[in-house]
Amino acid sequence: MVLSDLMIAYLFFGGAGSGALSVLIVFSLITPGASQRSGPTRSPTHSPIHNPTRGPAHSPAHNLIHNSIRSAARYAPQAEFRPLFFSGYLVGGGALILSVLCLLFDLGRPDRLFALFLRPSFGYLALGTYALAILSACAIALCFLWGALFMRMSRWVVRTIEVLGLVAALATMLYTGLLFQSIGTGTLLKTVLVPVVFMLSSLSTGIALLLLTAALTRAGRFFATTFRRLARVDVMLIVLEGIGLALLLALGLDEQPTRAAVAELISGNFALVFWVGVVGCGLIAPLGFEGVSLRSDISGAPVRWGSAFLPVALLLLVGGYCLRVALLGAGLPLFMASGI
């Protein structure tokens, strides 16, 4: 199996975009105030029961069901949540579009990409492509909803799009590790921890995209508490990712066929990418920045969260990209790493 730089970029943008969208969708599902009813409910004095001149009255049960459906049918996004959700869906959806473009250019011919849809199969690459396409469609729909505040949509339609997008995001983050875990024995990527490490990295880089959005837009000022909580979650993800990566290398040292791949990471051709990019930029430096910021916040010292988000986000994105380069480069026997 031969990987190109475009394939690495496809995996990186797909993981980061799906991670960002999954976090946003979960936040939307657990935040009732993000949407509001778009139309006034019918008051009892305007009900046929209280206004006999408008015709025969219906039964109380009929009016209860009718008014419940009427009051819950149409929801609209709240304007104060727009800087968070619209910007986030725009950035996350843009990362997915970049991922699809990288895959398209890597295949060289558009008909090869269309063949994945026209000739259904149950391989990991095909299933991941389906999940990416579904997630992209959901991201576009949600981005349009939050971009057009005058828009009124059925609450259940919006919830269906969000749940479908969340499932597709989880599948997109998971399939990469499963794809490379299935390539056969004798590789570092065969271990069971590979899907876990890739999913944790996707969530962390997804949060990085949201932190970058917060640093460059007004969302960071309006939702400082939300992003502080995201930073705490990201600290846990970085720690878990570091533990998973250490266990992955330890498992690799236990078997003779994978010791060469571990040596490539630690002291071989990918040592610089691994130690500087993955360990330095992706693990140690973000933990240091976020730890100092969170400690200052707890102690009551003023923290400019907009400027604090920017270096953390950039470091996490660099670390996430280097992780894919290092693991796939050292873990696969055949790897084209031009320019690295």
Locate the domains of the chain by residue range. 5-38+61-331
Q: What's the pTM? A: 0.81
Low-confidence residues of the chain: pLDDT under 50: 1, 39-57, 60-73, 300-303, 334-340
**153 - beta bridge partners?**
75
**Backbone angles phi and psi of 83, in degrees to 5:** -60, -30
pLDDT of residue 12: 94
SS3 helix, strand, coil % of the chain, rounded to 5? 80, 5, 20
pLDDT of residue 116: 62
pLDDT of residue 178: 82
pLDDT of residue 155: 80
Residue 291, CA distances (Å) to 203, 208, 231, 286, 339 in order:
19, 15, 9, 8, 34
pLDDT of residue 34: 60
pLDDT of residue 44: 40
pLDDT of residue 63: 44
pLDDT of residue 111: 66
User: Which of 132, 234, 113 is CA-nearest to residue 173?
Assistant: 132
CATH of domain 5-38+61-331: 1.20.1630.10
pLDDT of residue 340: 38
CA atoms within 13 A on the CB side of 214: 31
Sheet strands side by side (includes 74-77): 35-37, 74-77, 153-154
pLDDT of residue 120: 57
CA atoms of 9 and 11, how far apart (whole Å): 5
